[in-house]
Structure 1
């Protein structure tokens, strides 16, 4: 038996795998950073062998509350991911499963590889109403892809949708598949009508380097991109700098930033309530959008979320806050769970790629329903 993780998005350190009933593992930290929580590895030659995998350093991870009531995901084909027996005890994460065949994968959440990202970009590029541009490179030399959907006629609403600033939050790019699948479907009447009034600018993956390296939260330099929006630099955060420069060039009327939350078993939105320029009008816009998303998806709710910042006390390095203030627009962060949803559980898969995709589709409906209030 052996364990490997030297592949796209892989992360694990093998301490001892001589005994299948007591496999000892650690999660590697993000490069040049103390963040860690994302894991993704393959177990080999263990068919019909009960395996107990112990992640020893779970207690020092970035969000230990994320381990409570959490179940790891597993897959044989890397397409269908299901939950497996997992428990957090004595500061260790213990995963137990008996593989049916000799090759099986385990991960924190269903991985989204850079190869699949390339397929997503190629699919988008084949659509006649989508233009693909490379607007910069990452520190590791990977392309920053921008998708422009619809024509750029004067007077149209400029809607920016970005995801995966934190690379371990792979649910963001699964969400992108659902969102883009609908926005590029020429037979969809909602999409057709929406493009009459709105142009979409989409960054499916803000952090390609961290995604490939198997990071939880940072880019190749160890920078948390969602804390770089006030003063991004070419040396530390070229990804944010490239996107913000493009936003300055084009303009922003609405910004939707897609993430995942380790601890909370809910889908929810965090707004920009604490920025200096927040108004009752902006609050009404935010409330209206959330109400439309509740109508569009039973998986979305508004009762549980992050505490709202007091007036003038928002962290202005965060994307949603910085963009809302810089462009005097409605901006928000969508958070999805690593765990299952509390109100709409799925005992086999928990929160899954398929459900992320469906929520992405639902967000198209919410944008359509609230489009006249977004500017």
Structure 2
């Protein structure tokens, strides 16, 4: 025992490990381990066996050792011995060490793709060599390599932390944005009836072309763009016979959903792949389940079992089918008919699936497409599966994920929508899947895609599903999908809710790179009358600026925004009071092109738009450029927003929380000598998060941060704080998984982003509201208050009456 322990210590050195491999010790160690495994039937010498594995582990730390291990048939030896130990829990240390050795020695492979770049490409406008795109390409490597320690990312330059209001554009240029603020100069001669304001108009096709027909089949909804005239072909089954497709009547439950209107809007939506199909969930709509879905509790050893099954591919390679059943790189025929194999499809709005490979009879490897004009950002998925067999356990492996960890390891599940269930009256997205885990695989990432770092691997998200219905078509998604066409449909339906008391206007802020409009909404209350006093009160209301969906894969931000809009357009007395106090400027979708084309992070420029706020380019980043210009115009005219909040979704944290900006809190996290006593700061930025943590079960104050980091200096939150001068500038993050605190914890209950009850901060407020809280924030001298106030202390200072909610109220 002492000799094996000594050898274990010696071979931890790289030089000694090389000598041991050159001498041929590795095959000998494998033989010795096999002998101990056969003879130690009562498992009395587990320590010795583990030490032998430790020696093998040290020798395989070097490349030469891994090659010797493979040549000595080490994969098969350790696989066989490990599978024989699985039933004995006391032998887990041996199994775990063997698993580590096999994973390390598993040959690295490239993804089975012709290129890691996106299948689709969108031509970009001509940009000078020194433009933002060129600059980002030049600095990608520096960003990933130089900022390794997390604390080094905190800004230490006090001058960069102090808010500065820069006049980057002359006011004569900003004057054009007066068009989007017409409410401040409008002459209200009569308010007896709602104003005739702008609303969504659906673009018509040129004369001479036929009106597209909808061809329905249980597998896809096709927008027939033929020009031979038209009647609507009935739904057909695979044999070509007429079939009846009953659209579920969800009008009572989904007042903002209209399938026919949705189809009309889809026709005018421009996508790079020129989609001609519509996904059933988007067409039917979906009704949120009125229940709490528990977070999945993973069974012991699931991940280890999945890894062993992957290792079997190398050991029993003859059992692997390796049959391509869907390939987006083959544009002429992406869906490959292979008899009993599943049929995949993602050629619809927000869809993302690049390739599907059948590896075993009921197991499929799936590869996601990169963001357009990019070579990475693989996380969002949305695809269709057909030709399924009920009662069979299908395993799906998404093999090119990039993040090092995921909430899928902590109870999160994928979402599934069954067309058969929808037709039968249950149009629901439901959490599904068993044996879910997320782990590093043997597919290597190129250094280009990994920001200059070599040796990076992709990760696998694997889940198992058993389908319930024969001849069903099911859809899978990373999170509840919310398309651009859905937004436009909802906005048109919301505009119909306008009453004589509501001022609602919709403008097109700009046109995106892909030729789609970016809606800008203005919501407030109509003046009480055309008297000077009422008009003056109307024009003096503070501005609230809200935005969402700058990252296409964070679909929950759109559902939160939808709840916000529903509440602001509602007839409740609290909503009316809110409208009477503030003017809301809302951009519900900052990245329409990314949403339409199934991107996860970027726009068509291949860049993260939330990193372009400091110096946006009018051609490459039109939505950010014009949103910032509008904010600059508001500041230049003395109407700086009281609150700016950008809605986001978070994939690696639970609950709901906020990021804000604070000079003092940033300095506290650094070793800067500047005394915080010398820094004067309005502490109002903390009030809203503190009150929300007291009132909102889903809100986590401990997850909030007000530190300004270098890597975030170009984000909306920081730029609006520094350059526009908005003290209460926030990023509001909603979990993609669920809550682990408060009333929604209940065995880790997943908190659903439901259509009818999602609003700002995903909160359900009690039947009392904090009165005039934002007015109070402005009037109080927070710079003189102690920073150690608790939420309870602060709330006791506020006049609590059922008049005005704390910023925004969720409908009960």
Both structures adopt the same fold (TM-score exceeding 0.5): yes
Change (3 A) 1:53 1:347: farther
Change (3 A) 1:346 1:56: farther
Secondary structure at 2:701 match in 1: coil
1:314 and 1:22 mapped to 2: Cα distance?
40
2:773 and 2:492 mapped to 1: Cα distance?
30
**Contact kept? 2:484, 2:595, Cα under 8 Å:** yes
1:1-375 residue pairs with structure 2 within 5 A?
1-17=342-358, 19=360, 21-33=362-374, 34-48=376-390, 49-58=392-401, 61-62=402-403, 64-69=405-410, 70-76=412-418, 80-84=428-432, 85=434, 86-91=436-441, 92-101=460-469, 102-126=472-496, 127-128=498-499, 129-150=503-524, 153-186=538-571, 188-250=572-634, 251-274=640-663, 281-282=681-682, 284-306=683-705, 308-309=707-708, 315-329=712-726, 330-343=728-741, 344-345=744-745, 350-354=750-754, 357-360=757-760, 370-373=773-776, 375=778
Change (3 A) 1:20 1:7: farther
Which segment drifts farther, 140-149 or 356-365? 356-365
**Contact kept? 2:508, 2:518, Cα under 8 Å:** yes
**Contact kept? 2:657, 2:704, Cα under 8 Å:** yes
Secondary structure at 2:476 match in 1: strand
Deviation at 1:117, TM superposition (A): 0.7
**Contact kept? 2:382, 2:477, Cα under 8 Å:** yes
Deviation at 1:259, TM superposition (A): 0.1
Deviation at 1:203, TM superposition (A): 0.9
1:25 and 1:215 mapped to 2: Cα distance?
16
Would you tell me which structure has more helix in proportion to its own residues? 2
- What's the TM-score, normalizing by structure 2? 0.43
Deviation at 1:335, TM superposition (A): 0.4
1:6 and 1:352 mapped to 2: Cα distance?
27
Q: Larger RCO: Structure 1 or Structure 2 (Cα < 8 Å, ≥ 6 residues apart)?
A: 1
Change (3 A) 1:189 1:317: same
1:14 and 1:67 mapped to 2: Cα distance?
22
Which segment drifts farther, 62-71 or 175-184? 62-71
**Contact kept? 1:163, 1:259, Cα under 8 Å:** yes
How many correspondences in the alignment?
Answer: 369
When the two chains are superposed, the root-mean-square deviation of aligned CA atoms in Å is 2.8
**Contact kept? 2:567, 2:759, Cα under 8 Å:** no
Deviations 1:3-39 (A, max 9, x none): 1111111111223147552111011111122222111
Secondary structure at 1:75 match in 2: strand
Match of 2:200 in 1: none
Secondary structure at 1:153 match in 2: helix
Gaps of 5+ in 1: none
Change (3 A) 1:191 1:333: same
Larger radius of gyration: 2
Change (3 A) 1:264 1:354: same
- What's the TM-score, normalizing by structure 1? 0.89
2:737 and 2:761 mapped to 1: Cα distance?
21
1:62 and 1:336 mapped to 2: Cα distance?
18
